[in-house]
Chain A
Amino acid sequence: MRLVRNLWIWCLLPVCIGPAQAQNIVHGHVVDALTGTAIGSASVMVLDRGTGTTTDGNGHFELALPEGEYELRISFVGYTPAEFTVSAGSVSQDHLRIPLMPAVIAVDEVVVQSSSPRINDPATASHHLKATEDLLDRVPGTDFVQRANFAWEPVIRGLSGGQVGLVIDGIKVVGACVDKMDPSSSYVEVENLKKLELTKGGFDLTQASQIGGTINLVTRKPRFDRPLYADAEVNYSSAAKLRQGRVSGGGSHKNTSVRGSFSYKEAGDFSPGGQNPIPGSGFKKNNYKLDLSQRVGRQHEFTASFLGDNAWEVGYPVLLMDAALAKAKIYSLTYVWTPGLHWISRWETKLYTNRVDHWMSDFDRNVWERPVMRAMHMPMFGKTRTTGGLSTLELAHGVHRLKVTLDAYQTKSFGDMWMFSVFENIPDMYLLNLGDVRVRHGAIALDLTSRLRPGLTARIGVRLDHSPRDVLRDEAVAVLQGRWNISTLARSYTLAGASFSLTRSIGSENLLRLSLANVGRLPTHVENYGHYVYNYVDGYFYTGNPALKPERSTQAELGFERWTSRLALRASVFGNYIQHYIAGENDGSLSGNMTLRFRTYQNASAVLLLGGELSAVIDFRKWFEWTATASYTRGQNLELDEPMYLIPPLSGGSSLRVMRDRWSSELEIRMAMPQNRVAQKLADEDVTDGYFVVNVRGRMQPGSGAVSRHMEISAGVNNIFDVYYHKHLSYGNLPSLGRDLYLTVTYSL
Chain B
Amino acid sequence: MIRILLVIVCFLTGCAPSITDTDFFREHPTDPEDTSVALAVIRDGRLSINLMAPDSLRMGASILWVEAAVDGVPVSDGDFRVLSKWAAGARTVSSPLGTVKLVRTDRPGRFEGAPLFIAPHGEEGDWQLQITYTAGGESGEAVLPVEIQSSIWVQYTDGYYVSWVRPVHPVTGLDVIEFALHRLVDEQFLPLEDARIDLFPWMDMGAGQGHSTPYEAPVHVHHGRYRGSVNFIMSGGWEVTVFIQRAGTVQDTVYFKGFTVS
Using CB atoms and an 8 Å cutoff, list the residues of chain A in contact with chain B. Answer: 260, 262, 286, 288, 290, 306, 308, 310, 312, 324-325, 327, 359, 361, 368, 373-376, 379, 381, 416, 418-423, 426-431, 474-475, 477-479, 481-483, 531-532, 589-593, 595-596, 598
Contacts and interface: CB of A to CB of B under 8 A. Distances in A.
B204 interface: yes
A421 B205 contact: yes
Contacts of A478: 171-174
Nearest to A286: B15
A591 B203 CA distance: 11
Interface in B25-55: 25-26, 28
Given A416-B28, A479-B172, A482-B229, A423 B237 contact: no
A374 B209 contact: yes
Given A379-B25, A478-B174, A589 B235 contact: no
A590 B212 CA distance: 6
Given A312-B16, A426-B204, 17 more contacts: A262-B11, A262-B15, A310-B16, A324-B24, A374-B207, A375-B206, A381-B21, A381-B24, A419-B205, A426-B206, A426-B236, A428-B235, A475-B173, A479-B234, A591-B211, A592-B212, A593-B211
A290, A324, A430: residue with the most chain B Cβ atoms closer than 10 Å: A430
18 contacts: A325-B18, A325-B19, A375-B209, A420-B26, A421-B207, A427-B236, A428-B26, A429-B205, A429-B237, A431-B234, A474-B173, A482-B174, A483-B231, A532-B234, A589-B214, A590-B233, A592-B210, A592-B211
A418 B25 contact: yes
Contact of A430 (B28, B210, B214): B28
Contact of A361 (B24, B204, B214): B24
Interface in B124-139: none
B208 interface: yes
A532 B19 CA distance: 24
A67 B174 CA distance: 73
A325 B19 CA distance: 8
B210 A593 contact: yes
B188 interface: no
Given A428-B26, A483-B231, A598 B211 contact: yes
Contacts of A426: 204-206, 236-237
Contacts of B210: 592-593, 596
Contacts of A477: 173
Given A310-B15, A426-B206, A479-B172, A596 B237 contact: no
B4 to A, nearest CB: 10
Contact of A481 (B174, B204, B206): B174
Contacts of A421: 205-207
Contacts of B209: 373-375, 592-593, 595-596
B16 A427 contact: no
Contacts of A288: 11-12, 15
Nearest to A264: B15
A483 B233 contact: yes
Interface of B: 8, 11-12, 15-19, 21, 24-26, 28, 171-174, 203-214, 229, 231-237, 260
B207 A375 contact: yes
A324 B231 CA distance: 32
B6 to A, nearest CB: 14
Nearest to A588: B214
A596 B212 CA distance: 10
A428 B28 CA distance: 11
B17 A312 contact: yes
A423 B206 CA distance: 7
Contact of A422 (B18, B204, B206, B212): B206
A593 B233 CA distance: 16
Contacts of B203: 429
A427 B237 contact: yes
A258 to B, nearest CB: 10
Nearest to B236: A429
Most buried by A among B209, B210, B212, B231: B209
A482 B177 CA distance: 13
A500 B234 CA distance: 48
B211 A590 contact: yes
B211 A482 contact: no
A286 B24 contact: no
A107 to B, nearest CB: 34
Contacts of A324: 19, 24
A479 B212 contact: no
Closest 10 pairs between A and B when the two form their complex, measured CB to CB: A478-B173, A482-B174, A482-B231, A310-B16, A429-B236, A592-B211, A431-B234, A375-B207, A589-B214, A427-B237
B207 A479 contact: no
B172 A475 contact: yes
A313 to B, nearest CB: 9
A359 B206 CA distance: 24
Nearest to B216: A485
Contacts of A423: 206-207
A483 B212 CA distance: 12
A220 to B, nearest CB: 17
A481 B235 contact: no
B236 A428 contact: yes
A118 B187 CA distance: 92
Contacts of A595: 209
Nearest to A420: B26
Given A532-B233, A595-B209, A596-B209, A359 B173 contact: no
A376 B234 CA distance: 15
A608 B172 CA distance: 40
B74 to A, nearest CB: 27
Contacts of B237: 426-427, 429
Contact of A590 (B21, B214, B260): B214
Contacts of A325: 16-19
Nearest to B212: A591
Given A375-B206, A592-B209, A479 B16 contact: no
Contact of B16 (A260, A286, A429, A596): A286
A592 B11 CA distance: 49
A325 B21 CA distance: 12
Nearest to B230: A482
Nearest to B16: A310
B235 A429 contact: yes
Contacts of A260: 8
A592 B26 CA distance: 26
